[in-house]
Chains A and B, each alone.
Chain A
């Protein structure tokens, strides 16, 4: 995305607030004009204070009144302008975030699976924030800065051309100095951030796994490792910070050159009567104001460039191809009977790596299908296809005779109750988590579901029972307990079909059996798909799919597969080979 395109897109968001933008621009002009007017008034007043007995008191009173009015107006305009800018910035940011989130909810799983979630989060949060800072700064400082420069320039040229030329000639020097320093320090900053990255990696590794560090009594050696990086970081930080901090004194020095130049040159002009003392004092304060925005603008420009880069990253997310929307005539699947048919299905995640090829399967209502195979063999892929997290490349999957691409995603997915090995709970109360699929469920139903999934007894023992708030990582709960909650969540929705992907892998075998019994009762007459590596779990299945390297190598029931003496029997027997 080119910078120009990004700017166009940003402008499209801002357009909604165009009246406020115009107001803000007008107010910026007003503020600057009034701010520049005050030194003129002050200068005029100084010209009225000439010497003992030569003071025009009534004139001074008039000017004082004027300054008072101008000052109140300036303050008011400034405040309204700031508020306007805040409004525009925060609302644009809000709109962008909303659009980004909306897209997030509609992105195909393919995108989300292949992009680190941390990166996406940082786009929605950190990048948008940086963009907001840049935008706000752009609004408040860039406009006023440019207008201030123009305003002072015009005034100075009108008042006295030679003195103005002195100012105009010297000021760009400060610009150059700032640039010079910035380019020289760039490599130092790069080194600093690289070293910092290295240190952060070490911190994450060692503090993240601190118990292991302590287990092996490696604290001292880890501390030394840290100290070594820390020393390097100190060295390059010092350089980067010191050399970049010269910018300020250097530009200030240039400013004082401007000031001295105006002072001397102005004084010579004043002697010849080319300018009054009041005007000269006014000129001096302009000299200060004129150079200031130059320094600011160079800062703002880098900030804006940074903001545009961030905006580009967010827009890239927002413009990502969404999943194919549900077809217009898509059917709403209601009370599915549980006929699932996979017909010559082909699927692969990446074109290079073939995965599922010519996969056929017919599941009658109420049948239990188990999928087995070593880790990484593609068991989860089947689930991805059934849930339509991914679409098949060729062939079709049908539920109750309808191709799932002709069923609305929502109704297809809610027809399945899904429990995954990767337990996911949201930050919130236990009750909210269980009720996720059916927010209107009554307290009794929630408890009923929790009891059926054997979660009730541990929930009861938690400090606030069902109102206990759990964190995003489910902190405080063991993996097994989290799995029980995920099961309760599905138990509550009573879907017509079930998908259990290693749903009980972290639960001890005794509890597992109890849960399976609850499942068995629930699954009565419901079609279910079970992924498991504990072969004891799947023995009862009607159909067992044995997968290896993405292919279905064997298909049948426990007895027939054992009789076959193939891969399944090998897997099964290894369990008892002691």
Chain B
């Protein structure tokens, strides 16, 4: 319920409609409620007095009531539709805008697939809920209470039956609603499980068949399916009570009305026609309640969905920590980019992803970032455009804390090539315009050339105007990657970040790309994140990360001299170079002994030990193997 209340804000532009729609409904109901009165007149005066003219006049009156009812009802529908459609359009836009404005932390928290469902199926449910409420739901209470009021105008004693019956029915209707709402939620959960198992068996079909688990999967499915069916049965039994119980109440009331009516008529307080009218009113209530019962499920579903939509709207971006004012660096000329004791802890994560990272970058330098899976490479470069605020320390661009630079200004100076190569529906041109909305033809071709993507564009009919399908499905992984690089280059960024962006390229193309990047005229500071030593070894500085900490910074040669982690990475990729490895110059020699010991005690044991972070053993192992490989050649 509360979710819906929060969403009502989006109805405020439709105040007129939300008032007029029920008002005309009320009018329609009023005319409908007049009908039994007219009928009572026909019986009491027309039939009893045999007044044909009166019957004729009343007949026309009934017809007129019908027409007026029709007109006011259509008017009501019009306003209701306008309010409901307008409301959901506003809500949809607001939700979309809101999601667009969420920061990375909140995007991670909410989850992409959840937000897409909220945006689509949940909002549609809410729309049909609002629509139903405005169009039909309000009608029922109006008719129910209207019928009661009309009964009062005829006979107070009879009307008291309504006063008892209506709350009783309300208790039944709402009671069943309250009991079944959580049950329907459980049904939905059971259905989700059946859906989950089905999807798993499609996406994981190879693994399941490889492990010969078909039989067990069927058992799992049968069990989930059985639970679903029995829950549905259970809820079904309860909601199946709605109609019979209301039927009993209404007919009980009719019995009471006949009894009271009989006594009243006998005493001369009431006429026969009036009794018929009162009974008619009661029947009208029954018809309305049956309709209401059919709508309730839709409305309860809409309420649940409204909660889910409201939950997304409630996510607020936290303010990133206040920026340190002024120039941070003591140096007279601040470095172009500086990480000053930067740590990053993702929200909800226990451990620090980056811990006390320090480095300085000069303008125009190429920085390589290398490290193992999960060592924090991407997290580090994501701090530069301020996607995540540093939990500790500061990132400074030209001496000022990036938190003090307006977001858009900062991001416009940066060309980012994300890990996932995504293109958007449109044309190659429209995709490149993401990088720079007013890019000239020349700028585009230049960017494509640097990104080694000329052949991609030339290979497609239409050149720059070649169509791009959703998610760039009509391009291969390597092609997409090169186009995303071009997209970042087209804006001629001050800082170019390639986040493992060449993984789908073969080594030759990768090498050509890096050579082309070096030729760019403008002084561009480039960050290259990679697992391939070959991609970063020519950088001016290489940052080696290990478990979120900097294991070494320097040039390829320097690191090969003194950084053990880097050595391991490099030699694991270039085993034949291991022979050129400088001997006896540094620590690894000592470790070599441990390593040999491990190799002797057995690979598996050594491996187990390594996982616990004793890198030394692994180093020895690696070297041992590399050596052996060389020896065998």
Contact B218 A105, beta carbon cutoff 8 Å? yes
Contact A98 B373, beta carbon cutoff 8 Å? no
Q: Which residues on the A side are within 8 Å of B214 (C-beta)?
A: 105-106, 410
Known interface pairs A215-B418, A277-B276. Does A461 touch B351 (Cβ–Cβ under 8 Å)? yes
Majority DSSP secondary structure for residues of A touching B: helix
Most chain A beta carbons < 10 A, residue from B32, B251, B351: B251
Give the residues from 365 to 408 in chain B that come closer than 8 angstroms, CB to CB, to chain A.
371-375, 385, 387, 407-408
Q: Which residues on the B side are within 8 Å of A511 (C-beta)?
A: 372-373
Contact B77 A82, beta carbon cutoff 8 Å? no
**Cβ of B590 under 8 Å from chain A:** no
Query: Which of B52, B55, B92, B280 is A285 in contact with, Cβ under 8 Å?
Result: B280
Q: Digitize B582-621: 1 where CB-to-A-CB distance is under 8 Å, 0 elsewhere.
A: 0000000000000000000001100110111100001001
Contact B209 A208, beta carbon cutoff 8 Å? no
Q: Which residues on the B side are within 8 Å of A246 (C-beta)?
A: 74, 77
Query: Which of A52, A78, A211 is B418 in contact with, Cβ under 8 Å?
Result: A211
Q: Which residues on the B side are within 8 Å of A172 (C-beta)?
A: none
Contact B85 A234, beta carbon cutoff 8 Å? yes
Q: Digitize B196-236: 1 where CB-to-A-CB distance is under 8 Å, 0 elsewhere.
A: 11111111111101111110111001100110110011001
Query: Which of A105, A226, A263 is B62 in contact with, Cβ under 8 Å?
Result: A263
Q: Which residues on the A side are within 8 Å of B385 (C-beta)?
A: 215
Known interface pairs A46-B272, A256-B35. Does A517 touch B607 (Cβ–Cβ under 8 Å)? yes
Q: Which residues on the B side are within 8 Å of A252 (C-beta)?
A: 69-70, 73
Of the listed stretches B4-12, B241-249, B330-338, name the one at the interface; the rest are far from the partner chain: B241-249
Contact B287 A71, beta carbon cutoff 8 Å? no
Of the listed stretches B158-166, B446-454, B503-511, name the one at the interface; the rest are far from the partner chain: B503-511
Contact A242 B39, beta carbon cutoff 8 Å? no
Q: With A and B bound together, what is the CA distance between A80 and B223 in angstroms?
A: 27
Residue of A nearest to B377 (CB): A508
Of the listed stretches A10-18, A356-364, A448-456, name the one at the interface; the rest are far from the partner chain: A448-456
Q: With A and B bound together, what is the CA distance between A253 and B69 in angstroms?
A: 8
**Cβ of B23 under 8 Å from chain A:** no
Most chain A beta carbons < 10 A, residue from B214, B411, B476, B507: B507
Of the listed stretches A154-162, A419-427, A549-557, name the one at the interface; the rest are far from the partner chain: A419-427
Give the contact-size bracket for chain B.
35 or more
Q: With A and B bound together, what is the CA distance between A267 and B124 in angstroms?
A: 49
Residue of B nearest to A64 (CB): B255
**Cβ of B424 under 8 Å from chain A:** yes
Give the size of the chain A interface in residues (CB under 8 angstroms): 161
**Cβ of A354 under 8 Å from chain B:** no
Q: Digitize A367-396: 1 where CB-to-B-CB distance is under 8 Å, 0 elsewhere.
A: 000000011100000000001010000000
**Cβ of A314 under 8 Å from chain B:** no
Q: Digitize A395-437: 1 where CB-to-B-CB distance is under 8 Å, 0 elsewhere.
A: 0000000000000011101101010100010110000000011
Known interface pairs A117-B203, A457-B611. Does A94 touch B226 (Cβ–Cβ under 8 Å)? yes
Contact A517 B621, beta carbon cutoff 8 Å? yes
Q: With A and B bound together, what is the CA distance between A234 and B82 in angstroms?
A: 9
Q: Digitize A458-495: 1 where CB-to-B-CB distance is under 8 Å, 0 elsewhere.
A: 10010100000000100100111100001000000100
**Cβ of B444 under 8 Å from chain A:** no
**Cβ of A3 under 8 Å from chain B:** no
Contact A510 B569, beta carbon cutoff 8 Å? yes
Give the residues from 69 to 114 in chain A that come closer than 8 angstroms, CB to CB, to chain B.
71-72, 74-76, 78-79, 82-83, 86-87, 90-91, 93-94, 97-98, 101-102, 104-106, 109, 112
Per CB-CB distance, the 8 closest pairs between chain A and chain B, nearest first, are: A480-B373, A52-B268, A86-B236, A82-B240, A249-B73, A264-B59, A75-B244, A260-B62
Q: Could you list 24 A-B pairs, sorted by A, with CB under 8 Å?
A: A42-B279, A83-B237, A90-B232, A97-B221, A101-B197, A101-B218, A106-B214, A125-B194, A216-B487, A230-B92, A249-B70, A249-B77, A267-B55, A387-B206, A387-B210, A389-B206, A436-B207, A452-B607, A454-B610, A456-B611, A510-B569, A577-B507, A578-B507, A578-B537
